[in-house]
Structure 1
Amino acid sequence: MKHLAALNKYFITYKWRFLLGLLFTAISIVFSIFQPIMVRQIFDLLEQNLNTYGLVSDTKLRGAFRNDFTAVLAFYGIIILVFALLSGFFMFLQRQTLVVMSRFIEYDLKNDVYEHYQRLDLNFFKMHRTGDLMSRITEDVSRVRMYVGPAVMYTTRTLIMLVIIVYLMLEVNPMLTLYTLFPLPILAITIYYVNHIIHQKSERIQAQLSGITSIAQESYSGIRVIKSYVQEDNTVNFFDKASEDYKQSSISLAKTDAMYQPAMALMIGLSVILTIFTGGLQVMNGTITVGNLAEFVIYVNMLTFPIFSIGWVASMVQRAAASQQRLNEFLQIRPDIKDSPDAQAVIIKGGIRLENVSFTYPHTGITALKHFNLSIQPGQKVAVIGRTGAGKSTLAQLLIRMYDPQEGRVEIDGLDIRGIKLESLREQISYVPQDVFLFSDSITNNIRFARPDADMETVKRAARQASIEKDITQFREGFDTMIGERGVTLSGGQKQRISIARGLLKDPNVMVFDDCLSAVDAKTEKEIISNLYDYLQHKTAIIITHRIFTLFEFDKIVVLDEGAIVEEGTHEELLSLNGYYANLYARQQSGEEDIVMAS
């Protein structure tokens, strides 16, 4: 239970619902307990009056006796009906409090887990699979809900009922109580054992179902690749094999479940027979009455479901404990990137300085930057050029503090970036990433994601500056077009330009473009560069690229190689060095000339 102790705070939050649920449970059981007592009195009344009826059956008192006796039976019947209705009513209230409480706790727990995910740093998400994160917030939380709701409800109901019924049975006849209760622990152990088997098979089936879902999801997302490589048959065969394994496991579980229910019914029936046989002998000996025997039989039937639920509840608690342990593992993780105690919100003007910065990715051990130094004045436009793996994107990640360097300092306007509140920092730096991510929503909402309060005219202006407005107006639904999951309905260039429009809409003093024009054709690239040149006049801009933009007049161009600056200067200064930059420019110019000649 140590893992489930983390849920106590939720029970405290909803303590009044919990206590009311326990009260309604107790009242419901008390009213249901009165029913076998009434049945005992009816049987005893019948037994006592049978002889009397035989004596008056041939007299004038026969009719009056029958009427009086019928009235008494009707009275008892009405009492039993009223108690049954009251028991059912309070059982309804019990479920309305305890089960609804479990839904509230499920809601709170899901929100707590989701909010905790939002607070964790980027390194956490690189080290954990998305499917695992989704499983914990859905499947694991659902299992925990079964503990805080049905498991708690059935456990309290079973305990209260056991205490009351066993007390009443012992009051009547301790020996018969022993015989009556003897099979029930065996039944509970058997149920627990069988439930354990069912649980293992269910876990395997759940894993196989997740596998099938993943196969289907990958197939749907990669349908273009599957068709282009003519792999439809192989994909179908792969899916068919996974489905066959799932089918066999499901059939095995169904067979176990088919044997489970009849076996439980048989054991319960044997318990009733043992009660009737032993009780019948005691009735013949005059130790108990027929009413007592009837009362015991009803008690056995009343205890059947509570005892039956013990194994089920134990299985739920086991599964909930395992799930809560998995949740606790995440909830106890603290982000490495967080606000320092003295962090403050500041207005960023755009001065940037990296001093002797070294950074190694913790999840791979790859060193991206080594003793890196760079100074950018407010309003300057800087290009960062280098081959893949040179450390360009790492520079952008450090500026928006997705990571902290192991050595050195990153300063903005002379202030260590760790002394600025994260929210304030990221609100004032617009980052257009290399890996474009679009939500399954309208184009408007994808652009407006940077500023949810932006009006439509502002959204259109950002789209126009990113050279995507013409493309959008050609869609049937225009800006209201739903772009599909991850922007699957758009081309690579269209996705990049929508991402740029999102970054421009934010309109901060500092902008970072991380190789965000790689999928754009040369003509559109020139148009976007021209728009950006006007837009960025009074902003600090860092444009990370593997190409040279000759139409953009940069204040500084930085060439990276293996995490260090190898060349730095203006376009003309770097060409005069006749080094890496000059060679890249020559190759690029040659490639552009070849394209012109070929066209």
Structure 2
Amino acid sequence: MVLALAVPMYTRQVVDRLAQPGLNVETASAFLNIVAFTLVVFGLMRSISIFIQVFVAEKAAQEVAYALRNDLYDKLQRQSFAFYDKAATGELMSRLTSDVEMCREAVGFGMSSFLGNGAWLIGVAGYLFYVDWRYTLIALATLPLLFLVAVYYTLKVEPMYAEVQEQRAQLTAVAQENFSGVRVVRAFSREDEEIRRFHVENENLCARVLRTARISSFFQPGMDFFANLGTVLVLWYGGREVIGGTMTLGSVVAFHGSLWMLFWPVRALGYILGVMQRAAASVKRVFELLDEESVTKEKPGAIELPRVAGEVRFENVSFSYADGVPVLKDITFEAKPGEVVAIVGSTGSGKSTLVNLIPRFYDVTAGRITIDGYDIRDVTLASLRRQIGIVMQETFLFSTSIRENIAYGRPDASPAEVEAAARAAAAHKFIMELPEGYDTVVGERGVGLSGGQRQRVAIARALLADPRILILDDSTSSVDLATEREIQEALQRLMQGRTTFIIAQRLSTVQRADKILVLDGGRIVQEGTHAQLVKQGGVYQQILESQILPASFAAS
């Protein structure tokens, strides 16, 4: 700032010196050379200082964005299933990328410019008061109008920018959902409908951006008008003072140059406020996520769960999702170490919900669940989940090699251990038939493998983790009878010493279970072995006739 003020200061001296009567040409030329050299040096020094300012500001902005992205991702990794039940993936991606980028821009440009221009404004105003305080008061007469316009703009556009960011996130969510479900879209020939859906969201975004742009377009010209009005006042007053002989021409020229230096940060305030308002909406959305508390979290002083035998007890467990409608009601049973427990029931009876409570993907609404006598809410989540192997109903594979997918739960596993797990899951044979064997990279979500192949890789992944408790959520429903027989034979050996929960629709699965839980309407209505339940009839017999037997016959 001091370096920039050198220009009007020297301009004043040059104009006054050259306007003196009886000017000595040699003296004036020498003076001009000194001034020119001095201004070049000052200009170079100012360029260096601007470079340092910009670099430091951008470095600080990148550090803020880096920290925000890490904090957000860390927060999202630790959120409960209940959070993801209501969150759209595209919305989360928008906050993690677009909103964080807006925060970076606010720190890198907006904040540094705001502080820099503020300091500049104060410094130049101080210099002008030093030159002529009356002249300065006239020059600053339009500043209150400028600040009123800025305040009005801020209050007007802040909610509008928030709407723009929300709509941008909605557009991202629509695109992400379509890309994830592209096979369904193609299968039902819904491309045109999806295109129309995207166009509607895109039009909404465009309309909101243009509505915000209209307000911004009025703001900048308004700032320029009042700034130019100040210049007119200065020239009018300064011209009269020069005519009256109370002020030198050099002072007027220098004052006019300084005045532009004064109004430049005020005019730039328009753009800076626009950046800050966009960032304000993004900051709010980012911190909404950072402040979101997980409903499933460790209690203070949670202990490490030691290596367990695998005794699982449900004691009067009830559960409701966020809507408050009971899904499980007064569930009580015990699974002894090494027992295989099959869970059957009609669609919506609560089978998947029940097993999701064991690793605390959700927390019980009432009652408690214990493993080897430990209430699962009293132990750390990591130590609990390390001892539970899970094969989800919807098999998910990462876009990496099959070897890395199998070793996901145990990255330090040796190639021999990975292969042993694959053999146990009846996956080794088809893996070796792939072009690169275990190093074959699968597509996103396992694209390139059949449903049965993806399922066997997922089973191998769970088995390699060597869990004490195994949860198979409909894990053999996507394979043919021959493959299922291979998997079942392998699992019979590997289930030894593990407590296993199986949700299945095949007769062979429930026949081999040590205990069968029959769910209906969120309650356990029958419990026992296959032979016992067949004799009882009731709901179990109905399920056999309507679901399991037809599925078994179809597979055969």
TM-score (norm 1): 0.83
* Match in the other structure for 1:25: none
3-state SS, counterpart of residue 399 of structure 1: coil
CA distance in 2 between partners of 1:332 and 1:593 (Å): 52
Quick one: distance in 1 between partners of 2:75 and 2:219? 41
Deviation (angstroms), 1:154: 1.9
2:309 corresponds to 1:350: yes
| Shift of residue 421, structure 1, vs aligned partner | 1.7
| Distance change >3 Å, CA 163–CA 239, structure 1 → 2 | closer
Q: How many residue pairs get matched?
A: 555
Are the equivalent residues in 1 in contact too, given 2:410–2:465 (CA < 8 A)? Answer: yes
Match of 2:16 in 1: 44
Go from structure 1 to structure 2 and tell me whether the alpha carbon gap of 1:403 and 1:376 turns closer, same or farther (over 3 Å shift): same
- What is aligned with 1:434? 393
Change beyond 3 A, Cα 1:549–1:460 = same
Q: Deviations over 1:312-367 (max 9, x none)?
A: 33344444444333333333333332223342213232332424323222313232
Q: 1:229 to 1:379 in 2, by over 3 A?
A: closer
Shift of 1:90: 1.4
| Aligned equivalent of 1:84 | 43
- Distance in 1 between the 2:555 and 2:453 partners? 22
In the alignment, does 2:113 pair up with 1:154?
yes
Helix, strand or coil at the partner of 2:330:
strand
1:31 equivalent in alignment to 2:3: yes
When residues 348 and 106 of structure 1 are mapped into structure 2, their CA distance, relative to the original with a 3 A threshold, is same
Q: 1:117 aligns with which of 76, 83, 94?
A: 76
Letter of the aligned partner of 1:513 in structure 2?
A: L
CA distance in 1, matches of 2:177, 2:550: 40
Matched, 1:418 2:371: no
Q: Is residue 2:330 matched to residue 1:371?
A: yes
Distance 1:439 1:357, change over 3 A: farther
Distance 1:368 1:464, change over 3 A: same
The answer on whether the counterparts of 1:386 and 1:546 sit within 8 Å (CA) in structure 2 is no
* Residues 344, 419 of structure 1: 8 Å contact kept: yes
Aligned position for 1:501: 460
Between the aligned partners of 1:249 and 1:331, the Cα distance in structure 2 is 26
Question: Is 1:126–1:363's contact at 8 Å kept on the other side of the alignment?
Answer: no
For the pair 1:389 / 2:348, whether they are aligned, the reply is: yes
Aligned residue runs from structure 1 range 113-152, under 5 A? 113-152=72-111
- Cα–Cα, structure 1 residues 121 and 174, in superposed 2: closer, same or farther, change >3 Å? same
2:368 alignment partner, SS class = strand
Deviates more, 1:324-333 or 1:516-525: 324-333
| Structure 2 counterparts to residues 94-243 of structure 1, below 5 A | 94-190=53-149, 193=152, 209-240=168-199, 242-243=201-202
1:524 aligns with 2:483: yes
Note closer, same or farther for the CA distance 1:479–1:339 as it changes in structure 2 (3 Å cut): same
What is the CA distance between 1:218 and its match in structure 2? 3.8
Distance 2:96 2:206 in 1: 27
Q: Is the 8 A contact 1:192 1:315 kept in 2?
A: no
Correspondence for 2:446 among 483, 487, 511: 487
Which shows bigger deviation, 424-433 or 251-260?
Answer: 251-260
Show the 5 A alignment for 1:554-573: 554-573=513-532
RMSD over aligned CA atoms reads 3.0
Residues 109-144 of structure 1, C-alpha deviations (whole Å, 9 max, x = no match):
222222222233222222333333333333333333
Task: Note the C-alpha offset of 1:432.
Answer: 1.6
Give the aligned partner of residue 425 of structure 2: 466
Q: Deviations over 1:251-308 (max 9, x none)?
A: 7777777777666556544443432232122122222212211211211221233102
Matching residue within 514, 520, 523 for 2:473: 514
CA distance in 2, matches of 1:594, 1:151: 66
More deviation, 329-338/444-453: 329-338
Give the 3-state SS of the residue equivalent to 1:152 in structure 2. helix
> 1:12 maps to which residue?
none
Q: Aligned partners of 1:225, 1:484: CA distance in 2, in Å?
A: 17
Aligned residue number for residue 71 of structure 1: 30
How many angstroms does 1:196 deviate by?
A: 6.9
Match for 1:438: what amino acid? Answer: L
8 Å CA contact 1:192–1:310 kept in 2: the answer is no
Higher alpha-carbon deviation: 271-280 or 244-253? 244-253
C-alpha spacing 1:592/1:512, structure 2 compared with 1 (3 Å): closer
Q: Which runs of 5+ in 2 are unaligned?
A: none
Residues 509 and 540 in structure 1, CA contact (< 8 A), matched pair in contact too: yes
CA contact (8 A) 2:319 2:327 kept: yes
Cα–Cα, structure 1 residues 348 and 552, in superposed 2: closer, same or farther, change >3 Å? farther
Shift of residue 493, structure 1, vs aligned partner: 2.5
Inter-CA distance 187–475: structure 2 relative to 1 (3 Å threshold): farther
**8 Å contact 1:188–1:310 — kept in the other structure?**
no
**Distance in 1 (alpha carbons) for counterparts of 2:427 and 2:116:** 64
- The equivalent of 1:5 in structure 2 is none
Measured against aligned partners, the alpha-carbon deviations of 1:72-104 in whole angstroms (never above 9, x if no partner) come to 111111111111211221122122223311221
> Take 1:590 and 1:183, find their aligned partners in 2: how far apart are those partners?
85
The match for 1:8 is none
| Cα separation, 2, equivalents of 1:177 and 1:218 | 60
The normalised TM-score by structure 2 is 0.89
Q: For residues 595 and 97 of structure 1, what CA distance do their matches in structure 2 show?
A: 67
8 Å Cα contact 1:173-1:288 kept in structure 2: no
One-letter identity of the residue aligned with 1:527: E
**Alpha carbons of 1:350 and 1:435: their partners in 2 closer, same or farther (altered >3 Å)?**
farther
Displacement of 1:243 after TM fit? 4.8
Q: Output one character per residue of 1:418-474: Cα deviation in whole Å (capped at 9) or x when no partner.
A: 222211111111122223222333333222221122233322332232223333334
C-alpha separation in 2, matches of 1:163 and 1:352: 73
Contact 2:313 2:332 (8 Å CA) reproduced: yes
Q: CA–CA distance in 1 between the matches of 2:214 and 2:277?
A: 23
State the alpha-carbon separation in 2 of the partners of residues 594 and 152 from structure 1: 67
Match of 1:577 in 2: 536
> Is the CA contact 2:154–2:277 (under 8 Å) kept in the aligned structure 1?
no
Matched to 1:145, the amino acid is R
- Measured in 1, the distance between the counterparts of 2:158 and 2:301 equals 50
C-alpha distance in 1 between matches for 2:178 and 2:289: 30
Kindly indicate whether residue 505 of structure 2 is the aligned counterpart of residue 533 of structure 1: no
Letter in 1 for 2:463: L
